[in-house]
A and B are shown apart, each in its own frame.
Chain A
Amino acid sequence: MAAPVMKTVRGWSDLALGVRSAVLRLPGLSQVRWSRYSPEYRDPQIDKEYYRKPLAEQTEEQKFELELRKTQLIKAAPATKTGSVFEDPLISKFTNMMMKGGNKVLARSLMTKEAWGVLVHWIPWQTLEAVKRKQFEKYHAASPEERAAIERNPYTIFHQALKNCEPVIGLVPILKGGHFYQVPVPLSDRRRRFMAMKWMITECREKKPRRMLMPEKLSQELLEAFHNQGPVIRRKHDMHKMAEANRALAHYRWW
């Protein structure tokens, strides 16, 4: 229960490894989500820089950590966590959310990496490639003054677009007196990122024209969100307006 939740928080907010509350394993209390690893297993350290630091530069704690890891049991690293310099956790999370039925190969090929044996390879099959080509087209068509303002890095566009889509405040249904009221509530970082990604994916899946492929639609939506326009931004604004309208119900929140 607590262990998987702790794991994701660590992944996002970069807490020092090893800080882990002891999982309460009371007899008679079975956990709903549990890991096959017992509590003494530590998470793997994927970062190559951690191991390459020369001995002189390390502080006492880090030296102690390194020694400790030699004796302790370590979990296996997931297949998606590579030591690659090009790895981006946000892109991996987005790809996982786009995945259907465990078909990671398809999700990844739509997002980033192309499958080598693809027969139709004269249209960009990947979102990042499509975003890049569109921006290059705009760049070549623009005058020299406008060129400096055009962003061509697909990763910065992706990050900025999702950041623009994150709502500041959210609504939560709270049961009071037999009725559910939509109460405005502050959201955690994690929840906001999730909502932005979820809105983006649902928008692209549902409002897509019939013969358009997902990478094309996604690249369109990402570019619009980057410029603070488009349906996903509108949904965020709708959420803010609802929260503003239900301001009076804020007292129903007890946390």
Chain B
Amino acid sequence: MLKGMRRLISKVHKLDPGHVLHMGTQAPQSLAAHLDSQVSGQSPRAISRTSENDPAKHEEQHEGQHYSLPLQDMKTIFPHGLPPRFVMQMKTFNEACLMVRKPALELLHHLKNTNFDHPAVRYVLYGEKGTGKTLSLCHIIHFCAKQDWLILHIPDGHLWVKNCQDLLQSTYNKQRFDQPLEASVWLKNFKTANERFLSQIKIQEKYVWNKRESVEKGSLLGEVVEQGITRVRNATDAVGIVLKELKRQSSLGIFRLLVAVDGVNALWGRTTLKREDKSPIAPEELALIYNLRKMVKNDWHGGAIVLTLSQTGSLFKPRRACLPQELLGKEGFDALDPFIPILVSNYNPKEFESCIQYYLENSWLQHEKAHTEEGKKELLFLSNANPGQLERLCAYL
């Protein structure tokens, strides 16, 4: 088992013996799955959809079924952060359906039972490529958005450590670097996702942008965001201010904060960015990464931190690496320790059947042989029940 598990068990025993553990939830779930398989054995046709569209009410009986999200909500909650192929699928089918799966159900259970006076718990979704880590994260974000949490969603940590066209020296701290483009794009999307909170939260300190402009104590957070979007040079500093204020004020209890970072292993890896004299830049010298690291530390309370590891966009990591120790490295693992690791694996037979049924209902599988048993067996063999691989296979069939 991972180092994190052992440390977590010892730390949680010290903190709160009543806190539900990762291991504890497995017993009732396996019982539910056993009952489920008995029921589904009697009705052989798998049911792929459920009418329960509220993530808060998803239980084990909904496991393997798809629930639909309203397209209007998708534009507000997910201006960024959805996998590109899922966006294509949404456009083709004219609907957005997510499958309810075990890792997400487990996370939902933990989130429903969070104690907001304790420090924020970190959950790390890890797994092989294409198993559904990002979509599980999106499920959690949908749940939190429905429960009126403030969502701080970084769609891909790797985008901030590579391919940056304009790196400026930071005005705040001479040692660090600013990334105006990435910061302003992120601020725009953050504004779309959290409109109502921007007019409610007030900042508690005075910040000076330059000789002529400053923002006073007590003004709205929305102003800081606007300043970051319009004045691109100060966008990185605006992001830093937003993160600092949100961390400080979530402990006061006005709102609940969810920090969702996809590809968190970018924060502790290497970057491909170079200074003018061709020397490499370490991640902590980028202001965005530095502030984000502070956010992911568990020294605040009043919310939760859900992270996803990703090898796909990562730099200088072998293709087969998927475990937290391999992708985060020693530095990252020690920084994130203790965390609750949640494995996202390939589809089990019930979920696979449900996925195929969903595609058949939407007439996505047009090949005549895809409806037969032979075809399904072949799809199972070719994709190895990997959700991403199955989606790509069904695309041309």
Q: Which residues of A contact B (CB under 8 A)?
A: 84-86, 112-114, 116, 121-122, 124, 126, 128-129, 132-133, 136-137, 140, 152-155
Contact = CB atoms under 8 A, between A and B. Distances in A.
Given A121-B85, A136-B92, A153 B367 contact: yes
Contact of B370 (A86, A116, A121, A129): A86
A154 B396 contact: yes
A49 to B, nearest CB: 10
B272 interface: no
Nearest to B94: A140
Contacts of A133: 88, 92
A152 B363 contact: yes
Contacts of A152: 363, 366
Contacts, number: 51
Nearest to A114: B392
B366 A86 contact: no
B369 interface: yes
B396 A112 contact: yes
B378 interface: yes
B372 interface: yes
A114 B364 CA distance: 17
A61 B56 CA distance: 66
A128 to B, nearest CB: 4
Given A137-B92, A152-B363, A124 B395 contact: yes
A122 B85 contact: yes
Interface string B362-376: 011011011010110
Contacts of A129: 395-396
Given A122-B88, A155-B366, A85 B374 contact: yes
A134 B126 CA distance: 35
Contacts of B372: 85
Interface in B346-397: 363-364, 366-367, 369-370, 372, 374-375, 378, 389, 392-393, 395-397
B378 A86 contact: yes
B392 A124 contact: no
A153 B397 CA distance: 8
A207 to B, nearest CB: 25
Contacts of B168: none
B84 A121 contact: yes
A156 B389 CA distance: 24
* Chain B interface main SS type: helix
B87 interface: yes
Nearest to B389: A116
Chain B interface: which size bin? 20 to 34
A107 to B, nearest CB: 14
Contacts of A113: 393, 396
B373 to A, nearest CB: 10
A124 B88 contact: yes
Nearest to A156: B366
Nearest to B370: A86
6 contacts: A84-B378, A86-B397, A121-B85, A124-B88, A126-B395, A140-B94
Contacts of A155: 366-367
Nearest to A128: B396
Interface string B291-329: 000000000000000000000000000000000000000
Contacts of B393: 113
A155 B84 CA distance: 25
Given A86-B375, A136-B92, 7 more contacts: A85-B372, A85-B378, A86-B369, A114-B392, A122-B85, A137-B92, A153-B366
Closest 8 CB pairs of A and B: A122-B84, A153-B366, A128-B396, A85-B369, A129-B395, A112-B396, A136-B92, A114-B392
A155 B365 CA distance: 11
Contact of A116 (B363, B374, B392): B392
Contact of B396 (A116, A132, A136, A140): A132
B79 to A, nearest CB: 16
B303 to A, nearest CB: 31
A85 B397 CA distance: 11
Nearest to B363: A152
B84 A114 contact: no
Interface in B93-113: 93-94
Given A133-B92, A152-B363, A126 B396 contact: yes
Contact of B375 (A85, A126, A132): A85
Contacts of A112: 396
Contact of B87 (A85, A122, A124, A140): A122
Contacts of B389: 116
A136 B370 CA distance: 18
Given A84-B378, A85-B375, A124-B395, A154 B85 contact: no
Nearest to A83: B378
A153 B366 CA distance: 5
A19 B375 CA distance: 32
B396 A114 contact: yes
A116 B129 CA distance: 10
Contacts of A121: 84-85
Nearest to A157: B366
B395 A132 contact: yes
Contacts of B395: 114, 124, 126, 129, 132
